[in-house]
């Protein structure tokens, strides 16, 4: 491998073992092609001997073209020493026709004796013959030493014997697995360093995150001499997950100055992360390193002031390098720098409006003290700012509203909202049903406005969050509602606060529609200018 780091992705195999993750064959193919475009060396596609879905995936992969990556089939050593040639698992691996294969074997004496019920010599021979069989069929064989670090600390002679058996059979890479995720970085470093005196095959590392150390352990192994690193996009995987390649890869390239085998498109890292989250139907982790929405977000006024002068003061890398972007949040911790920054993002110059910015800072702090939160509702903040600049007036007034909730004999509820609104002096009176009072209000408001503003038909509510702000007040507690909306191309969030959850929701709904109408109006004005 010439000391280049080989990046091995197991999102489609180990990653799918994570709770709540379920990928279709088409999903797996889409992710595989994105990984290929990104520059991953090896993509572990699944375990063909374990389920029909993975078998179908490998059949379709045969008819797919990959530019850089090699697809890898996964399985275990044979089940019986006497039936290596006929072993169904090994045969299933061969049928995938992949040039690279991975098999795992027992490397902890506890598993060998109690799990398989075989002797040390029998286990070593099982590993040898399984690797040898696949090598005879022309495969590049990666041997995953399952539970290696636990096994090494329990009985290093046994674990070392298993590695040597795989090496003697011709394993191309021997991967040390921290399967239970309980090893510490200094242990990983020391053990890998010692192994290099006994194992001459290239060493790989496969870690799990049960101690929140999977990335650190992977880095430690590479610093000690490992040349292949395994992990998943976003760290998805069983229990606490696998090592997160979205952190490992930039750490290798940007921090350790390591060279990867393929030319990795690092500027596509954030979009790859979001793509995988989306296909897995998982909410993106905003605080994930490098690629998270909050990874380069600044809230404190002093921090923002410094970032505006030189972003290196509070950012360890340029976010653009990994395809992310700098964000400045507006909150009760804001200073004038935050307001200037956000206004500049919106194309507004406040450099000659110092009194306005001071007033805005104090106003926002008062609002946040009373429960509002603008770092999660930037559309509401923009309306507030443009209103103070006399650039925005609401597109409609709500003159009267009424919500009724009914329950039938079976306890099934039905909600109805009645609204009276005014648009340009014209009054519209309407009603609508809904699945609950907020949905009924949303339906009634859209119904009332559609005649005046047909564009709102594109708006969909995609998320709805409620936070109780002062729990000790019980049912009289103030609540904050944040609504996320979308028109299919853009998403935006708005906020409402009240002791009445329906009123708080209605505030956020009104802001959501007003914001999009303002954007529609601004776009049309630019086109006609």
Residues 253, 149 share a domain:
yes
Query: Residue 234 domain-assigned?
Result: yes
Residue 383 located in a structural domain: yes
Judge if 250 and 370 occupy the same domain: no
Q: Is the domain of 321 the same as that of 437?
A: no
Q: In 3-state terms, what secondary structure has residue 151?
A: helix
120 and 38 both lie in a single domain: yes
Rounded Cα gap, residues 288 and 256, in angstroms = 20
Strand bridging mode 426-434 / 413-423? antiparallel
Per-residue pLDDT of the chain (529 residues; tens, 9 = 90+): 457 999 999 999 999 999 989 899 999 999 999 999 999 999 999 999 788 889 999 999 998 899 989 999 999 999 888 889 989 999 999 999 999 999 999 999 987 877 778 899 999 999 999 999 999 999 999 999 999 999 999 999 999 999 999 999 999 999 999 999 999 999 999 999 999 999 999 999 999 999 999 999 999 999 999 999 999 999 999 999 999 999 999 999 999 999 999 999 999 999 999 889 888 888 888 899 999 887 777 665 556 566 666 667 777 888 899 998 766 655 444 556 666 666 777 777 776 777 777 777 777 777 777 777 776 678 888 888 888 888 889 999 999 999 988 887 777 788 999 999 999 999 999 999 988 888 899 999 999 999 999 988 888 888 888 888 766 666 667 888 888 888 888 888 899 999 888 999 999 999 999 999 998 887 776 666 5
Whether residue 12 is found in the same domain as residue 79: yes
- Is residue 237 located within the same domain as residue 156? yes
Q: Are residues 210 and 307 in the same domain?
A: no
For residue 408, give the 3-state DSSP assignment. Answer: coil
- Asked if the structure places residue 324 within a domain, the reply is yes
The crossing angle, in degrees rounded to 10, of helices 378-388 and 354-369 is 140
Does the residue 29 lie in any domain? yes
Other Cβ atoms less than 10 A from the Cβ of 62: the count is 10
Pairwise CA distance, residues 502 & 496, whole Å: 10
> What is d(CA 190, CA 185) in angstroms, rounded to the nearest whole number?
9
Looking at the structure, tell me whether residues 176 and 42 fall in a common domain. Answer: yes
Q: Output the DSSP codes for 404-458.
A: EEEE-TT--EEEEEEEEEEETTEEEEEEEEESSHHHHHHHHHHHHHTTT-GGGGG
Report yes or no: 316 and 296 within 8 Å, Cβ to Cβ.
Answer: no
| 319 and 418 assigned to the same domain | no
Whether 332 and 422 share a structural domain: no
Domain that holds residue 365: 297-388
Q: Do 45 and 28 form a contact (C-beta atoms < 8 A)?
A: yes
What the block records as the tokens of 240 is 């606490």
Domain membership flag for residue 505: no
Is 422 contained in some domain?
A: yes
Task: Say if 504 falls within a structural domain.
Answer: no
Tell me: do 237 and 367 sit in the same domain: no
* H or E, element range at 327: strand 327-328
What is the rounded radius of gyration, in angstroms, for the C-alpha atoms of the chain?
A: 29
Domain count, the chain: 3
Q: Tell me, yes or no, whether 350 and 247 share the same domain.
A: no
Question: Per the domain annotation, does 91 fall within a domain?
Answer: yes
33: CATH: 3.20.20.70
- Record the pTM: 0.70
Would you tell me how many other CB atoms lie within 10 Å of the CB of residue 8? 26
């Amino acid at each position: 491998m010439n000391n280049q780091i080989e990046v091995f992705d197991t999102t489609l195999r180990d990653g799918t073992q994570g709770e709540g993750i379920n990928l279709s064959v088409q999903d797996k193919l889409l992710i595989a092609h994105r990984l290929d475009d990104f520059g991953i060396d090896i993509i572990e596609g699944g375990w063909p001997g374990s389920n029909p879905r993975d078998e179908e995936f490998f059949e379709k992969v045969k008819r797919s073209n990959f530019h850089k990556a090699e697809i890898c089939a996964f399985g275990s050593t044979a089940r019986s020493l006497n039936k290596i040639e006929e072993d169904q698992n090994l045969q299933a691996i061969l049928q995938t026709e992949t040039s690279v294969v991975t098999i795992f074997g027992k490397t902890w004496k506890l598993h060998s004796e109690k799990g398989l019920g075989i002797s040390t010599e029998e286990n070593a021979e099982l590993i040898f013959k399984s690797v040898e069989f696949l090598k005879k069929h022309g495969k590049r064989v990666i041997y995953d030493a399952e539970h290696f670090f636990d096994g090494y600390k329990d009985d290093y002679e046994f674990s070392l014997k298993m590695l040597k058996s795989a090496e003697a059979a011709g394993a191309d890479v021997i991967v040390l697995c921290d399967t239970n995720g309980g090893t510490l970085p200094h242990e990983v470093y020391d053990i890998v360093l010692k192994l290099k005196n006994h194992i001459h095959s290239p060493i790989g590392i496969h870690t799990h995150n049960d101690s929140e150390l999977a990335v650190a352990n992977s880095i430690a192994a590479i610093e000690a001499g490992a040349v292949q690193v395994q992990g998943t996009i976003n760290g998805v995987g069983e229990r606490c997950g696998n090592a997160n390649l979205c952190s490992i890869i930039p750490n290798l390239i940007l921090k350790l100055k390591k060279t990867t085998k393929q030319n990795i498109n690092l500027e596509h890292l954030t979009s790859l992360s979001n793509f995988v989250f989306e296909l897995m139907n998982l909410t993106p982790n905003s605080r994930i390193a490098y690629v998270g929405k909050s990874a380069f977000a600044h809230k404190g006024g002093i921090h923002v002031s410094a970032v505006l002068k030189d972003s290196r003061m509070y950012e360890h890398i340029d976010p653009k390098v990994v395809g992310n972007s700098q964000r400045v949040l507006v909150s009760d911790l804001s200073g004038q720098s935050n307001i200037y920054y956000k206004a500049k993002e919106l194309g507004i110059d406040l450099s000659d409006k110092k009194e306005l910015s001071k007033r805005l800072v104090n106003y926002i702090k008062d609002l946040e003290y009373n429960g509002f939160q603008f770092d999660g509702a930037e559309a509401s903040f923009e309306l507030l700012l443009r209103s103070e600049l006399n650039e925005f007036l609401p597109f409609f007034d709500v003159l009267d509203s009424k919500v009724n909730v009914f329950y039938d004999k079976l306890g099934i509820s039905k909600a109805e909202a009645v609204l009276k609104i005014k648009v340009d002096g014209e009054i519209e009176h309407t009603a609508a049903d809904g699945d609950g009072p907020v949905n009924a209000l949303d339906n009634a408001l859209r119904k009332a406005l559609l005649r005046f503003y047909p564009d709102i038909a594109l708006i969909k509510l995609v998320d709805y969050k409620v936070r109780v702000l002062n729990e000790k007040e019980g049912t009289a507690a103030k609540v904050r509602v944040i609504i996320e909306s979308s028109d299919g191309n853009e998403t935006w969030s708005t906020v409402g606060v009240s002791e009445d959850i329906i009123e708080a929701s209605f505030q956020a709904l009104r802001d959501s529609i007003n914001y999009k109408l303002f954007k529609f109006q601004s776009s049309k004005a630019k086109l006609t200018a």
